[in-house]
Copies of this chain bind each other. A is one copy, B any other.
């Protein structure tokens, strides 16, 4: 790839002609992954609606920084309106709460942990954490996004203080184990403060039981954060909102609208139940940027509650898309994704050699193993890493495969290790039943070819 790009992509002293630029654009398109294609099914953040794209283009054409109402009068109002709407969907009274659009879910999750820490020990902001004599403890599961432990490392809590609670076979947090681990960390003299539950995990698409977790959090006075990056979209559908039952009891919620809601990257919101905390946590009173003596209500300024200073406008494309479809259209979209996921699952179940990781999917994520028929008949042992397919030796389950072209699960420092598998995420309204047939047939064809090559080499 580098060889192809080198001469064309080089930056030189002299200006480049339009022809050369267009040549490079064509090459770019040729060699880029077509992530928006309706048959590209392995990533929840890549397909997008064309209205959202139009919104993004408007956004870049107006190129406004989001830090004050003064510089972005319409966009800051729209951001407020959309955040109100999202909080209402979570189940919080519209007048309450706060929120901001952050550059991706990792940053949204970081906002949450920072605000929670500030709520528990406001003096950290000024004094720093070195005065603290007790370990602050974060609870999550192996299903969490890597940003959860990473945020803990960044803010000075430390990776060792991120406790991984056991999951059941569906990847859901065990509430019994959560309570047990809270109690034992209290007994050890630590300070538990933050539970990060997941709604729509990246691996299995699992949803933690928020109501039960909220009961435990209330009992021990912990902050409940819900990372609904992928799963937040279910709140649009009356049929599927039960998956996040209890979300209104969260103290903060991360919701990626560049995932299920098909906005272009990036479009992540962090919603906070308690108003004022975001600003209390992040303000540095930069008066030269955010003067207080303006001719409008400075409550419209968002700069002093943001971790960022200059901030890209991520909300407009969402607002335009949402408005164009209405709540009904958004709901229809979500319902369709679930429907096509069910179609995919049924087709897989009738495909010989397929074994489902979970007996029934509950989200738009479908995980499965596939062993080509020919290979099922093979008795020879194939060395690990021989070709694309890795045979997991020493495992008596014939269905254990790894295909390097797919995102897949792996062990994650606790005991619910699963052999790597295929993962499919239905995220594109345009994906049809025929596309699903195509994808399954391609998988079979490619796998058979691999097996043939492998047998010829023997």
Chain A contact residues, CB within 8 Å of chain B: 1-2, 5, 9-16, 21, 24-25, 27-29, 31-33, 35-36, 43, 45-46, 48, 51, 53, 56-58, 60-65, 70-75, 77-78, 81-82, 85, 103-107, 110, 114, 124-130, 132-136, 145-147, 149-150, 152-161, 202-203, 256, 258, 264-266, 268, 282, 284, 286-289, 291, 293-295, 306-313, 316, 319-320, 322-329, 385, 388, 390, 402, 404, 407-412
Contact = CB atoms under 8 A, between A and B. Distances in A.
Contact of A104 (B103, B126, B287, B327): B103
24 contacts: A5-B74, A5-B78, A11-B82, A11-B85, A11-B327, A14-B328, A21-B323, A32-B62, A32-B64, A32-B74, A46-B63, A57-B57, A103-B104, A103-B312, A128-B135, A129-B130, A129-B158, A130-B132, A145-B309, A146-B286, A147-B308, A155-B155, A288-B410, A288-B412
A189 to B, nearest CB: 11
Given A126-B159, A155-B156, A265 B312 contact: yes
A12 to B, nearest CB: 5
Contact of A323 (B11, B62, B74): B11
A64 B35 contact: yes
B64 A287 contact: no
Given A105-B309, A133-B130, A322-B11, A56 B62 contact: no
A388 B110 CA distance: 39
A388 to B, nearest CB: 7
A325 B15 contact: yes
A156 B106 CA distance: 18
Nearest to A256: B310
Nearest to A332: B15
Contacts of A316: 28
A31 B62 CA distance: 11
A317 to B, nearest CB: 8
B128 A160 contact: yes
Nearest to A385: B293
Q: What are the nearest 8 A-B pairs in CB distance?
A: A128-B158, A156-B156, A103-B103, A146-B286, A129-B156, A287-B410, A56-B60, A129-B129
Given A13-B328, A287-B410, 5 more contacts: A124-B156, A128-B129, A146-B284, A288-B409, A288-B410
Contacts of A71: 33, 35, 43, 46
Contacts of A402: 293
B128 A156 contact: yes
Contacts of A412: 287-288
Given A62-B29, A65-B265, A128-B136, A104 B294 contact: no
Contact of A266 (B43, B62, B149, B312): B312
Contacts of A106: 306-310
Contact of A150 (B72, B110, B284): B284
B75 A62 contact: no
A21 B288 contact: no
